[in-house]
Amino acid sequence: MGDPKNPRKNWRKPKRPLNFDLLNEELHVVGTFGLKNKRELWKAHTELSRVRNQARSLLALTQEVREKKEKVLMESLIRIGLVNTNSTLDDVLNLKVTDLLSRRLQTMVQKKGLIKSPYQARQAVVHGHIMIGERVVTIPSYTVKVEEENQIHPVPGVNFVVPKMVMETVVSEKPQD
């Protein structure tokens, strides 16, 4: 089991870390999604590898057993928005790490237009300026579920630079007393 203070790591490094093409690709993804370090990228790779491994193992099962277990996997992936409702296991095998990273709270805040850059979005999330529904979420790697997408908004009374167009829509969405 191990010491609770030292949990087991949940990521794996690349097999060939000094591959020039891999380094450039990793650097591009880290910059695009505003990740803190490459370890966050490796965590996403490991999580995607786990999901794809589950899909491969389901393909090897008999039809009756596969239908039951496939339903559970697909429902969990649909809930977090990685696949559509009519997707198959082949679609799960075709997932890319960018699909998983685009479901992070940090990325969703930037895509929604609340913040200009991914690094600024990360800072806003860490400092507690972003809410999902009625709760403040301070974890940039939080995986946003499909039903939570439209509930992302800034904390009332927080002064951070918001593009003018977005601020007008946020103000107009507030109920009038």
- Residue range 110-146, pLDDT digits in tens: 999 888 899 999 999 999 999 999 999 999 999 999 9
What pLDDT score does 114 carry?
A: 86
Query: Contact 14/3 with Cβ under 8 angstroms?
Result: no
Supply the pLDDT for residue 3: 75
Q: Which residue has the tokens 């969703």?
A: 108
Q: Where are the domains of the chain?
A: 20-97, 105-173
Q: How far apart are CA 170 and CA 60, in angstroms?
A: 49
Mean pLDDT of 157-168: 62
* pLDDT given at position 174: 52
Model confidence, pTM: 0.83
CATH class of 105-173: alpha beta
Q: Determine the average pLDDT of the residues in 77-81.
A: 95
**Which residue from 45, 23, 26, 22 is spatially nearest to 101, judged by alpha carbons?**
45
CA separation, residue 138 to residues 10, 57, 126, 160 (Å):
20, 35, 5, 16
Q: For residues 89 and 98, what is the distance between their CA atoms, to the nearest angstrom?
A: 18
Place 177 in a pLDDT band, splitting at 50, 70 and 90.
very low
Tens digits of residue pLDDT in 24-72: 999 999 999 999 999 999 999 999 999 999 999 999 999 999 998 999 9
Report the mean per-residue pLDDT for the chain. Answer: 89
